[in-house]
Amino acid sequence: MCQFIILLFFTLFLPVLAYIPVYPTNSTGATTADASTIILQWYSNGSYVQNISFQIAGQGSTGINKGALVHFSEEGVNNATAPTSTPWIALISCDNNSTNASLDTDIFELAHEKGAVSALLYSLYSKACVINPGYSDRLFDIFSSPDPASSHLIEYQFSQTGQHVLSSYDSAQLNASANVITESINAGYPVSSGYLLAALTARNATATSTTSATTQPSMKSGCNPCSTPFPLMVLYVAIASVLVLL
Ligand SMILES: *[C@@H]1O[C@H](CO)[C@@H](O)[C@H](O)[C@H]1NC(C)=O
Ligand SMILES: *[C@@H]1O[C@H](CO)[C@@H](O)[C@H](O)[C@H]1NC(C)=O
Ligand SMILES: *[C@@H]1O[C@H](CO)[C@@H](O)[C@H](O)[C@H]1NC(C)=O
Ligand SMILES: *[C@@H]1O[C@H](CO)[C@@H](O)[C@H](O)[C@H]1NC(C)=O
Ligand SMILES: *[C@@H]1O[C@H](CO)[C@@H](O)[C@H](O)[C@H]1NC(C)=O
Ligand SMILES: *[C@@H]1O[C@H](CO)[C@@H](O)[C@H](O)[C@H]1NC(C)=O
Ligand SMILES: *[C@@H]1O[C@H](CO)[C@@H](O)[C@H](O)[C@H]1NC(C)=O
Ligand SMILES: *[C@@H]1O[C@H](CO)[C@@H](O)[C@H](O)[C@H]1NC(C)=O
Ligand SMILES: CC(=O)N[C@H]1CO[C@H](CO)[C@@H](O)[C@@H]1O
């Protein structure tokens, strides 16, 4: 009986979520970068690294998320849009609610339904994105770009890999790229052009997870021509060594 009442309670009160449960703000310090990072890589062996802000941890997440980074908004996707099993990360602008936003499904739920493994919020007009305080779903790890400069830089990387880059969510195109994206994730660098390979790592990611253990050496070797990641790797190793000594 008690369980029935609890069930009834949830059935009645859960579907109150709105479209994008996030708002833009200009107040300083609303979202600050922490030790979480985004590593963007494009063919051939180009990369960009940036500290981002960890907002919400997904249930049972390791804190390490990899896939193709694509823009995602309710402007072009609704619940009838096909999903994909190719790993992808939703790049979501918090600037505007779509005019045809559904009031039943919020943007994170929609992205999760389509197969997103994680989400990154950004604003091109305001200082930062703030998730509504009442939002408590833990579908996947949600990160936020800490400032407009970082948002513009992340946006800029879509121009790095030529004209035919996979820029917005497209189930058919993601399906067609399933093999190369999976191969790239395993190799630690993009094996072909046409997409941005992203790795979003939470500040408290479990360092012992097999994903990070197998990826870090290949990240290092996969980045010979680029400048930022290798010193960062040295820094990680140095920090890890100090921690081991303590
Ligand atoms: C923040 O400031 C910019 C211009 O400085 C403005 O365009 C934007 O609408 C502001 N955002 C908010 C949430 O007030
Ligand atoms: C950026 O990330 C690195 C590595 O995780 C960390 O050592 C550094 O302190 C971070 N920077 C900021 C400003 O949080
Ligand atoms: C990271 O910290 C968040 C709280 O900020 C927690 O919910 C999550 O489980 C932690 N993740 C790991 C992998 O420890
Ligand atoms: C949203 O509305 C615009 C026009 O208002 C329309 O072109 C677009 O197809 C709609 N998107 C979806 C996913 O329904
Ligand atoms: C999306 O789902 C809602 C409720 O689940 C439904 O009312 C709506 O008609 C659906 N829209 C489409 C395009 O299937
Ligand atoms: C979008 O709509 C929701 C629900 O009305 C609201 O909570 C959120 O702040 C809005 N976000 C923006 C960017 O307007
Ligand atoms: C892509 O693959 C998924 C299954 O992995 C399927 O459900 C979806 O319909 C496919 N998309 C298209 C456009 O065929
Ligand atoms: C990228 O780096 C990897 C690892 O060092 C290397 O095997 C691969 O040939 C490089 N790709 C290109 C196109 O240079
Ligand atoms: C597409 C769209 O409506 N963009 C608007 C989003 O909101 C900012 C201000 O916050 C406007 O400047 C954009 O034009």
Return phi, psi of residue 221, to 5°: -75, -25
At 172 the pLDDT is 96
User: What gap in Å lies between CA 239 and CA 38, rounded to an integer?
Assistant: 18
**Cα-atom radius of gyration of the chain, to the nearest Å?**
19
Give the number of other Cβ atoms within 10 Å of residue 126's Cβ: 18
Q: Quick check: bond before 44 cis, omega within 30?
A: yes
**In this structure, are residues 64 and 43 in contact, taking their beta carbons and an 8 Å threshold?**
no
| Nearest bound ligand to the CA of residue 34 | 2
User: What gap in Å lies between CA 76 and CA 100, rounded to an integer?
Assistant: 10
CA-nearest residue for atom 1, ligand 3, is: 204
Buried b (16+ CB within 10 A) or exposed e, 49-85: bbbbbbbbebeebbbbbbbbbbbbbbeebeeeeeebe
At 95 the pLDDT is 93
| Nearest bound ligand to the CA of residue 207 | 3
Return phi, psi of residue 82, to 5°: -70, 145
Mean pLDDT by 10 residues, the chain (246 residues): 41 45 88 93 94 95 96 89 97 87 85 97 94 92 94 93 86 97 96 95 73 34 34 40 42
CA of 121 to the centre of ligand 4 (A): 22
At 99 the pLDDT is 76
Q: Which of 77, 100, 170 for a ligand 4 pocket mutation test, highest count of atoms within 8 Å of Cβ?
A: 100
CA-nearest residue for atom 4, ligand 6, is: 18
Cα angle at 28 between 26 and 34, to 5 degrees? Answer: 120
Find where tokens 């497209």 sit: 170
Going along the chain from its start, the domains and CATH numbers come out as: 16-206 (3.50.30.30)
Q: Which of 171, 179, 181 for a ligand 7 pocket mutation test, highest count of atoms within 8 Å of Cβ?
A: 171
At 109 the pLDDT is 94
DSSP class of 58: P
User: What gap in Å lies between CA 131 and CA 136, rounded to an integer?
Assistant: 10
**Amino acid residing at 90:** A
> pTM, whole model, 2 decimals?
0.80
User: What gap in Å lies between CA 204 and CA 212, rounded to an integer?
Assistant: 12
